[in-house]
Amino acid sequence: MQIVLIGLGRMGANMARRWARGGIQVIAWDQSAEARAAVAEAGVQAMPTLADALAAGATEGNVPSPRIVWMMLPAGTVTETTIDALLPQLQAGDLLVDGGNANYKDTQRRAARVNAAGFGYADVGVSGGVWGLANGYCVMAGATATDYARLKPFLEVLAPSPTRGIVHAGAVGAGHYAKMVHNGIEYGMMQALAEGFALIEAKREFAMPIADIAEAWRDGSVVRSWLLDLTADALKKPDEIAAIAPFVSDSGEGRWAVEAMIDLGVPAPVTALALTTRFATQGKGDYAAKLLAQMRAGFGGHAVKKA
């Protein structure tokens, strides 16, 4: 089996390695020469140009073959311009796959455009982060039944096993929608864990062994999870936590999940609050906080702290 992979960032490079180790021939390209050079894995052939990658993927064992071209790129402009570059070079039978964290509405629009040009289009939400190479990825595919059948052998190699961590989520766009909801849940779980341990840390009179409590929760507790595992490991290194700035970025999926909440009228207050809390860490709530302090001073004469 053979796949053409475009994008060798942190996720893409490890996916290329996992595919190769699973017996799949990977023809890869990234605009960064450094990224291409870093994928030193038997079975991964990093090509100098996009055209070279597509040409190499056009045959398998010297036999002309329809290609699966998988994009693992940042959402937005980069994905859009790559599709622009790909369309004139695709051939009959090719299937274009977006495995990045795209907005599902963009996915549906792009699919319509690619389908109108005569090619297949599918989307796959991929979860697993930097641990996916060793542990496998959770893969959520949005595709027609025919395209999913073509993709499935590749997804089975990415997943922890052929029967675990893999799902045909629905029609095109469903893979990215499922991943969006997944990340919205992730926002809420992370926020709950962070707030809970902050409450423990603040109760200084008990001198609570916070790392030991987290470790105990990993077994038998209803809150045990991979996120708790990662948190427990982090709490063993308090000096590292103390050195971290209290700034948490948001990568887009949380915003899209809140937009879906509004569009559908389905309440998702935990996701929305977790997202706004991230905004607060970014300094985006500072002006409102200053106004609140000034209001309290105005009606109650409360003291205002100066910066």
Task: Check residue 144 and give its pLDDT.
Answer: 98
The partner residues of 70 in beta bridges, in order of sequence, read: 5, 97
Backbone φ and ψ for 252, nearest 5 degrees, come out as: 125, -40
In the chain, what percentage of residues exceed pLDDT 90? Answer: 86
CB 23 within 8 A of CB 42: no
Is 156 tagged catalytic? no
- Given 60, 179, 195, 215, which residue is catalytic? 179
Per residue in 136-191, pLDDT tens? 999 999 999 999 999 999 999 999 999 999 999 999 999 999 999 999 999 999 99
Amino acid letter, 194: A
Angle (CA) 47 48 52, round 5°: 60
Can you give the pLDDT at residue 302? 81
| Residue 301, pLDDT score | 84
Report the SS3 class of residue 60. strand
Q: Could you tell me which of 169, 176, 170 has the C-alpha nearest to residue 99?
A: 176
Q: How far apart are the first and last CA of the chain?
A: 62
Q: How far is CA 304 from CA 2, 65, 288, 298, 300, in A?
A: 65, 71, 14, 10, 11
Neighbours of 223 (CB within 10 A): 12
Which tokens hold the place of 165? 């961590």
Please, what are the domains in the chain? 2-171 (3.40.50.720), 180-208+245-290 (1.10.1040.10)
Average pLDDT value over all residues in the chain: 94
pLDDT at 60: 64
CB 291: neighbour CB atoms within 10 A?
10
Model confidence at 110, pLDDT cuts 50, 70, 90, reads very high
The residue behind tokens 């959520």 is 140
Alpha-carbon dihedral sign for residues 142, 144, 149, 150: negative
- pLDDT value for 306: 86
Q: Is 299 helix (H, G, I), strand (E, B) or coil?
A: helix
> In which element (H, E) is residue 45 found?
strand 44-46
What pLDDT is attached to residue 156? Answer: 98
What was the pLDDT predicted at 268? 95
Q: Is 179 a catalytic residue?
A: yes
Contacts of 258 (CB under 8 A, 6+ apart): 184, 268, 271, 272, 275
Tell me the per-residue pLDDT of 27-69, one tens digit each, with 9 for 90 and over.
999 999 999 999 978 889 999 999 999 998 877 666 567 999 9
The one catalytic residue in 105, 186, 237, 284 is 186
